[in-house]
Amino acid sequence: MMRKPGRRQAERGFSLLEAMVVITLILIVSALSVIGIQVALRRSRAASAMQTVTLQLRRARQAAIDERRLFFVTLEVPNRIRIQRRNPDTTLTQVGLFELPITFQYCIEPGTPDTPDGFGLAAPVNFNGGNQLIFRPDGSAVDAIGRFANGTAFVCRPGDISLSSAVTILGATGRIKGYRFEAGAFR
């Protein structure tokens, strides 16, 4: 069977122009994917920083209730959480030392609003003017002189307000709540 010359050329494959268009489209989609992954990774690290603070505070509170002892939590600037248990002989035993994920620390970026709890923006970590909480066996949180410790710890990546978060504590109940910065406010 004889083929026509025009058909044979069409059956050869892709032209160089068609191959270049496909490669260009693949490169564009790949570049957009890489950018999307980087944004998602930054947001994931921000969520992890807030969750680290929240989780360690909740663990210390629960340990105070379970063990019927005082637990001291110190949020050390720039990025550490130190947890100590008070022994019956009044000495302290360190039960944990944690750090926030890389590049995150306790800080307040310019333009950061207060949380809905409204404990203020006096310092990156502020529990009645200090950076230490004491969880009591009833679950409440107090400061070093025994006042209920209401306050906020602001967590951010310096230079990027969009990755800011905050953790608040209501001292009388020991309620711990995390907030993410979204659309110009903590939610």
Q: Can you give the CATH number for the domain in which 58 is found?
A: 3.55.40.10
Read off φ and ψ for residue 12, nearest 5 degrees: -70, -35
> 179 lies in a domain?
yes
> 83 lies in a domain?
yes
The torsion of the CA quartet 86, 130, 103, 121, rounded to 10 degrees, works out to: 150
Confidence of residue 9 (pLDDT cuts 50, 70, 90): low
Which domain range does residue 78 map to? Answer: 10-186
> 2 lies in a domain?
no
**Structural domain count of the chain:** 1
Give the pLDDT confidence of 51-96 residue by residue, as tens digits: 999 999 999 999 999 999 999 999 999 999 999 999 999 999 999 9
> 5 lies in a domain?
no
> 155 lies in a domain?
yes
For the entire predicted model, the pTM comes to: 0.82
- Strands (DSSP E) along the chain, which ranges? 71-76, 80-86, 92-99, 105-106, 125-127, 132-135, 141-142, 151-157, 160-170, 175-182, 185-186
Which string of b and e fits 82-94 if b means at least 16 CB within 10 Å? bbbbbeeeeeeee
